[in-house]
Amino acid sequence: MTRKRFQLSLDELKENLLVMAGLAEQAIQRAIEAYRVRDLSICDLVSRSEIAINRLERDIDQAALDLLAMEQPMAIDLRFILSVIKINADLERVGDAAKSIVDRVRSMEQMAVAELPVDIPRMASLAADMVRKSLQSFIEADAEMARTVLTMDDAVDTMNRAAYKTLTKVMEEESHLAPQALNALMIARALERVADHATNIAEDVIFWVQGADVRHHKSLKKGPDPHAMGEAETA
Amino acid sequence: MSTVLVVAPLVAIFAYLIYKGASSLNLAFFTKIPKPEGEVGGGMANAIVGSGVLLGLASLIGVPIGIGGGIFLAEFGRGTKLANAVRFTADVLNGVPSIVMGVAVYGLIVTPRMPFSAISGGVALGIMMIPTVTRTTEEMLLMVPHAVREAALALGVPNWRSVLSITVKTASPGIITGCMLAFARVAGETAPLIFTAFGNSNWSVALNRPISALPLEIYRYAISPYDDQHRQAWAAALVLVVLIVAAVSLVRYVTSRGVLKGAS
Amino acid sequence: MGVGIEVANLNAWYGANHTLQDINLNIPANHATALIGPSGCGKSTFVRCLNRMHETNPIARVTGTVRIGDLDIYKDAKPVEIRRRVGMVFQRPNPFPTMSIYDNVAAGLKLNGYSNRRVLDEIVEQSLKDSALWDEVKDDLKKKSGASLSGGQQQRLCIARALAVDPEVLLMDEPASALDPVSTSKIEDLIFELKSQYTIVIVTHNMQQAARVAEKTGFFLNGRMVEFDATHKIFTNPSDKRTEDYITGRFG
């Protein structure tokens, strides 16, 4: 097989991205857990992993840039590297979102516990599912799996809008709970962003595997793309 | 080192000729015709002119036929049976001893009505030039890179035109060298002239009469019993060599200027 | 102005070797079309069928149709006529070694009988300007021989020579493969300029070059044309796996 070195570089790039993915996924899971059990030590873990995530983002971008310059990748290799760069950015934002959530959890520590009519845990688990599934579709280069992630985004959006309505109502009518409500709102927002990033990752996988750009186009997210090509076997 | 080895014999011969022959060079040598046997003096003017005539005739016959043959072999007949036959013939012709050539031409052209003529001498020498010119022309043409021919063809130039105007022109330095080699070789040939040009003690440039030539005179004078004639033989040898070198150099000079600048 | 080329059921042989099999394609006018493929895939043979140079080899044979404009080049015209309408530039620059720069450019015209001095002067100047060589040689046109130029200049000289006979199509067989990157860039820029006046077909090993220069690209493999499409599609998302394997450099 020719271009062995190049193939090894691509494999290495993929592995590093998966490490990054693992860290990001873990950050979200921990943030959600911290929210659930109000454990500040878990918050610290998340803050520390943020440093590793940022450094990995820089390393992956640099490696991708080098491959573009040195190896003149074409077709599927080019799409793969482009996807890696974008997924890299999305994963870093997921890490940021986790950090936001953890910051909210820390502020809420000073406040009284409030029972709010929002199912943050469910929203959280949906968002985490989307992240996991989109990353799984990347590992397996499975465009169909990626497409299912795109459909999950609507549910999270709906929940976020509902949370907004409910929590603003709470802030108006029970102003003593306003700080908690505000924090909960911001957590919901962060989770909605996580879901968006998972969607982006899924779109990038479809672009890589099928060469189809399905961003911002509702109808394309439904069935198989008529211009789509065969599944990727390499990289 | 090898340059010295190659040049040394040439220099040696030249030096010896000069040593032996230069003293006999005088105006008379170049302007007078031979004196009758035994008499001292006289020159080889007629032989010098005669050689010129014979070589001119020979070139007129040998060069066009030879170059034409070379062009045919290299460009138009590649691989054909005819080409192989032509090449074989040329090689055989090359190996024919010069005296046999003289005898053959004698049998073919010299007749009771026209015994011994400049024409027959020219023909004999010309035929002897053909193989060398043909083979060298063929080789030089084959050395022209295929890319140059393709360039001409790709411009929509007909093949014959491409051969003449491009390929032959590109190979012309080599072709001319081939002609020079053939010329130099036949310039000194004596044996074929014995039966054809025959030699002539008087001024004569008529084509249908016997004509004098330097190699013939060298031979005749060298085997004569007279010292004076021996002297003149040496002088003639020197003059012959000098003339050949001069002719070759002149052609080289004229053509090198022409080739470098292009035809504009 | 350039014309389009229609190729239908083209097959070519060198002796018993079936070098091209059932080639069908339409090359658009006034565009640059690139032909890529591994060594020995037939792309050079194909291009030589377009100006009947394939026939200069005595054991070569062709069947099928090639129409340039509305002329069937195998039925309706002689090779010499075709080659005046379809020019060719070769991989290694091949200026005529015994001729000056001027004579090289004018060769196609002079050897075909044109002799009007003034017209020749104009054509030579225009051709050299079109091939971006005029400024570099205008003072030495008749003094310098074609072979005394640098490699990149020689190739531009060959392009000028081809342009001087005013062809409609320009075939280029790996024109920059023997040149350094700067000369290559100059040639590529040139192709870009020439596209508007001529139809250009360029055979290249260098995919990046095809990508930089050509609107359409055809991929040849083992004597067949596997895929022919817009260049950007071939290089970002080709339809055929064989094309993809080739352009990503993955064999075996």
pLDDT digits (tens, 9 = 90+) for C109-166: 998 888 899 999 999 999 999 998 999 998 988 889 988 999 999 999 999 999 999 9
Instruction: Kindly list the distances between the CA atom of residue B112 and the CA atoms of B106, B107, B117, B143, B202, in Å, as whole numbers in the listed order.
Output: 11, 11, 11, 47, 21
Spatial contact of C134 and C190, defined as CB atoms under 8 Å apart? no
Cα separation of A31 and A190, whole Å? 11
What are the tokens at A229? 């090509």
The pLDDT of C65-73, averaged and rounded, is: 92
Lowest mean pLDDT among A52-61, B118-127, C22-31: B118-127
Which tokens in the block code for residue A29? 């899971």
Rounded alpha-carbon distances, angstroms, from residue A234 to A7, A202, A208: 9, 18, 11
**Residue type for position B205:** V
CB C20 within 8 A of CB C223: yes
Please report which confidence band the pLDDT of residue B261 belongs to, taking 50, 70 and 90 as the band edges.
Answer: very low
Contact B191, C146 (CB under 8 A): no
> Token pair 């225009």 is at which residue?
C126
- Radius of gyration over every alpha carbon of chain B, rounded to an integer in angstroms: 21
The rounded distance, in Å, linking the Cα atoms of B240 and B247 is 11
Select the residue of B156, B161, B263 nearest C165 (Cβ to Cβ).
B156
Classify residue A51 by burial, with Cβ atoms within 10 Å: 0-12, 13-18, 19+.
Answer: exposed
Per-residue pLDDT at B16 exceeds 80: yes
**In Å, how far from its chain's centre is CA C18?**
23
ipTM score for this prediction = 0.91
Q: What's the Cα-to-Cα distance from C80 to each of B160, B166, C85, C147, C181, rounded to whole Å?
A: 12, 16, 9, 26, 34
Tell if the CB–CB gap between A72 and C208 is shorter than 8 Å.
yes
Locate the DSSP E strands across B120-246: none
Question: Which is nearest to C2 in space by CA: C181, C148, C171?
Answer: C171
pTM for this predicted structure: 0.79
The subunits that touch chain A, with at least 3 C-beta pairs less than 8 Å apart, are C
- Name the one residue in this structure whose structure tokens are 């672009």: A207
Minimal C-alpha gap between A17 and chain C (Å): 22
pLDDT value at residue A234:
41
pLDDT 10s digits, A154-173: 999 999 999 999 999 988 99
Query: Considering only CA atoms, which of B98, B180, B85 is closest in space to residue B136?
Result: B180
Residue with the two structure tokens 């609107």: C215
Q: Is the pLDDT of residue C196 over 60?
A: yes
pLDDT of A214 reads: 84
**pLDDT band (50, 70, 90) for residue B12:** confident
* Secondary structure (DSSP) of A136-192: HHHHHT-HHHHHHHHHHHHHHHHHHHHHHHHHHHHHHH-GGGHHHHHHHHHHHHHHH
CB of C54 less than 8 A from some CB of B: no
CB-CB neighbors (< 8 A) of B154 in chain C: 51, 53, 83, 87-88, 90, 162
- Taking CB atoms and an 8 Å limit, are C56 and B151 in contact across chains? no
Lowest mean pLDDT among A69-83, B5-19, C33-47: B5-19
Q: What is the pLDDT of residue A192?
A: 95
User: Within 10 A of A55 (CB to CB), how many other CB atoms are there?
Assistant: 11
In degrees, rounded to 5, the angle at the alpha carbon of residue A49 between the alpha carbons of residues A45 and A51 is 130
Nearest to B178 by CA among B119, B219, B130: B130
Q: Do A75 and C241 touch (CB under 8 A)?
A: no
B88 is written with which tokens?
A: 């074989």
* Amino acid occupying residue C106: A
The DSSP call for residue C148 is G
Nearest to A79 among C236, C247, C250 (CB): C236
B151 and C158 in contact by Cβ < 8 A? yes
Q: Do C87 and B261 touch (CB under 8 A)?
A: no
CB contact under 8 A, C111 and B150: no
User: Helix, strand, coil: what percent of chain A each, to 5?
Assistant: 80, 0, 20
**Cβ-nearest to A74 among C247, C251, C252:** C247
Cβ A9 vs Cβ C249: under 8 Å: no
What percent of chain B lies above the pLDDT cut of 90? Answer: 23
Nearest to C47 by CA among C203, C176, C225, C219: C203
| Whether the Cβ atoms of residue B139 and residue B174 lie closer than 8 Å to each other | yes
Q: How near does any CA of chain C get to the CA of A235, in Å?
A: 11
Across the interface, of B158, B165, B172, the residue whose CB is closest to C80 is B158
Please name the member of C207, C239, C249 whose beta carbon is closest to the beta carbon of A3.
C249
Q: Is chain B in touch with chain A: ≥3 Cβ pairs within 8 A?
A: no
Q: Chain C residues with CB inside 8 Å of A3's CB? A: 248-250
- The amino acid sitting at C32 is A
Interface of A with C (CB under 8 A): 1-3, 6-7, 72-79, 211, 229-230, 234
C162 contact B CB<8A: yes
Reported confidence tier of residue A134, pLDDT bands at 50, 70, 90: very high
- The Cα-based distances of B133 to B62, B138, B172 in angstroms read 7, 8, 12
**Widest Cα–Cα separation across chain C:** 59
Fold of C5-93+168-247: Rossmann fold (3.40.50)
Take residue C210 and report the two structure tokens written for it.
């095809």
Q: Which residue of C has its CA nearest to B164?
A: C111
Place of tokens 């911002």: A216
Q: Which of A2, A211, A229 minimises the CB distance to C250?
A: A2
Task: Report residue B206's pLDDT band, with 50, 70 and 90 as the boundaries.
Answer: confident
Write down which chains contact chain C via at least 3 CB pairs under 8 A: A, B
B166:C142 CB<8 A? no
Chain B residue numbers with beta carbons less than 8 Å from the beta carbon of C101 are none
* Residue A92 pLDDT greater than 50, yes or no: yes
Of A77, A229, A230, the CB nearest to C248: A77
The whole-angstrom separation of Cα A105 and Cα A186 is: 10
Cβ atoms of B148 and B166 within 8 Å: the answer is: yes
Could you tell me which CATH number the domain at B45-212 has? 1.10.3720.10
Q: What is the dihedral of CA B159, B164, B170, B172, to 10 degrees?
A: 150
SS3 content of chain B, % helix, strand, coil (to 5): 75, 0, 25
pLDDT in tens, A12-48: 999 999 999 999 999 999 999 998 888 889 999 999 9
Please report the pLDDT score of residue A50 as a whole number: 92
Q: Report how far residue A10's alpha carbon sits from residue A83's, in angstroms, rounded to the nearest whole number.
A: 12
B22: number of Cβ within 10 Å: 11
Architecture of the domain delimited by A4-221:
Up-down Bundle (1.20)
The answer to whether the CB atoms of C236 and A230 lie below 8 A apart is no
Q: How many residues does chain A have?
A: 235
Q: Do C96 and B148 touch (CB under 8 A)?
A: yes
Query: What are A204's two structure tokens?
Result: 């990038």
Find chain B residues with C-beta within 8 A of C51's C-beta: 154
Higher per-residue confidence, A230 vs A185: A185
d(CA C215, CA C203): 13
Q: State how far residue B250 is from chain C, nearest Cα, in angstroms.
A: 20
Question: Is the CB of residue B146 less than 8 Å away from at least one CB of chain C?
Answer: no
Asked if B151's CB is within 8 angstroms of C145's CB, the reply is no
Burial of A41 (0-12, 13-18, 19+ CB in 10 A): exposed
